[in-house]
Chain A
Amino acid sequence: MRPSRHARAAVLFTLLAAVPSHAGRGITVKGSDTMVILGQRWAETYMNQNAGQVVMVTGGGSGTGIAALINGTTDVCQSSRAMKPDEKLKLRDRFQTTGIEIPVAKDGLAVYVHTSNPVRELSLEQLRGIYMGTITNWKQVGGSEATIILYSRENNSGTYVFFKDVVLGGRDFSPRAQTLPGTAAVVNAVSKDANGIGYGGGAYAKGVREVALKRTATAPAVLPDVKTVQDGSYPLSRPLYFYLRKKPEGDVRRFVDWVLSDAGQQLATQVGYFPLR
């Protein structure tokens, strides 16, 4: 289970009390909850390899991270979405810069069905209908006559929010969607449910089949893999960003360079994301 935000906040407060964030060597990283684990893994490994370097990572959400960047309370902001124009405007008012955007990894979300399910591809619109509860039978999307059983993630997960934003356009999931703790549980449930459908990180897909997705009804169907996620042709892929106020220098630069190096990218793959290259 991920450390609670409460615990993270407590750790942060303790650290802030002990080491004021702008007193020298510490690099503060704040933002996206989706990226917290990734950021923490980067920080741990980086600190192990570079004695004397301190990197402090906290979550709070992409919006919180960007606000912290604008307020000058964090060195690096992790964000799973691009900065909005009004956020850039605020940053320019404060610091005469629109910020530096550095993609650091790619995230791709797979849609799974049972291995016996004849449905091989879905358009985003069909997927939206399925998860909003307007499409309830597999027959409506070219499958067999059977009720679709929806599996979803708990509403605290970044994956849930991403799916809700991108696929449902911010609208509500069908109340019949069953929410399970963790992608692994979703995969397990779908692997045992002939009429189930679920979503989650591509790295987990064992014992289930990934569905190819189409942006529109006529677009080509694309399966998630390193290539399609990297070039963005897979519809449910997104870049994950670091945002900085100015061109990185000194310790911050060393950290960012390391994250972008093969070693850092390798680590991203281990945590379940896709490398940039």
Chain B
Amino acid sequence: MQAETVVERVRLVYASDHARLWRSIYAFSGSREVADEAVAEAFAQALRRGDELRDVAAWVWRSAFAIARGELQRRRSTSNDVGDSSFEDGDHGELAAVLARLGALSPEDRELLVLCHVGGWKPGELAAVLDQPAGRIRVRLHRATERARRILEDDR
């Protein structure tokens, strides 16, 4: 595949997915810095891989979350803070409240809810991104939603 074609292919995914992906990583990590880094690096790696990738969008989404997970873990392992300091990002108002609720979820639940409700993925579509059966994703999503609802009720 010609380099121009590779760039155009990734560019098309960037145009359609970048904003959603960045918001999703931001929601997942609670950090604009992590979102900037993870999303840019995932797209850059996609460009470098050229035509190795058959499904650029799925690859970029999966890679960005993997990078973000790694960074969150690194921050936890190098920080003395017990809590997740990423969720102290200077946002205010409604968004800060939403970020706080997200921070109370497990990373697995948070990722799944964010992919669905910020990323706009349907459970059936997520099978390709998460490499899990759609049925399992639906069950996980159901349980994550229930836990999120309990967190919200506890807040009230």
- Asked if A and B are interacting partners, one says no
- A residues with CB within 8 A of B: none
